[in-house]
A and B are shown apart, each in its own frame.
Chain A
Amino acid sequence: AQSVTQLGSHVSVSEGALVLLRCNYSSSVPPYLFWYVQYPNQGLQLLLKYTSAATLVKGINGFEAEFKKSETSFHLTKPSAHMSDAAEYFCAVSEGGSNYKLTFGKGTLLTVNP
């Protein structure tokens, strides 16, 4: 069965600092991996996805994530945090094929301090 663990329910950074949000997955087959962002009182929006092509995936708003099979990780990074990045971030995994289901992590709330 697929599962996702997001380390750290709350991450706080200063504006301009590196953002690192951690995600580890469990899957019995090569997975598809996703990062979604949720701004207050809004639905989730796709940031980026890994679908077995390049292991370094670039997304919107300057975010990127690297798929590391040996570490079963898909951490999200951004070199320089902006105030507008404050939101909740969700990592999700799917085993693909006929399995359309996304299994979401519990989320990481990112706070950006001025």
Chain B
Amino acid sequence: DAGVIQSPRHEVTEMGQEVTLRCKPISGHNSLFWYRQTMMRGLELLIYFNNNVPIDDSGMPEDRFSAKMPNASFSTLKIQPSEPRDSAVYFCASSLLGQVTDTQYFGPGTRLTVL
């Protein structure tokens, strides 16, 4: 059974460029989370979708970040323009119903380096 799929696994880009990260959640899950992991700040929730609708985007650092979920099987996180401080590992996770007691299943992450 396929888990959460993320692409690309690694992305190296130059400052000012647009970056798009992609996520395919586990089939049948109706909740999706985007996290960012850095050495300084640890693991932070960026945005939470339930039934394809953004419920909480309070963790999105600034307007340069945007996320969409056009359907139940696909989500994107876009950074435009990218900056060196955006360098981090970005994880997508999905859960069955989005309740806190549900297990969140994490993808392998996208390691983003902005030069």
Contact = CB atoms under 8 A, between A and B. Distances in A.
Given A32-B101, A43-B91, A104 B108 contact: no
A105 B104 CA distance: 16
B91 A101 contact: no
A42 B89 CA distance: 11
Interface residues of A, number: 22
Contacts of A94: 100
Interface residues on B, range: 20 to 34
Interface in A1-33: 32
B111 to A, nearest CB: 8
A100 B48 contact: yes
Contacts, number: 51
A107 B43 CA distance: 9
A99 to B, nearest CB: 7
A87 interface: no
Contacts of B107: 43
A45 interface: yes
B100 A102 contact: yes
A42 B43 contact: no
Interface of B: 4, 31, 42-43, 45, 48, 55-56, 91, 93, 98-101, 103-109
Interface of A: 32, 36, 41-46, 49, 51, 90, 94, 96-97, 99-102, 104-107
| Interface pairs A-B: 3 shortest CB-CB | A43-B106, A104-B43, A94-B100
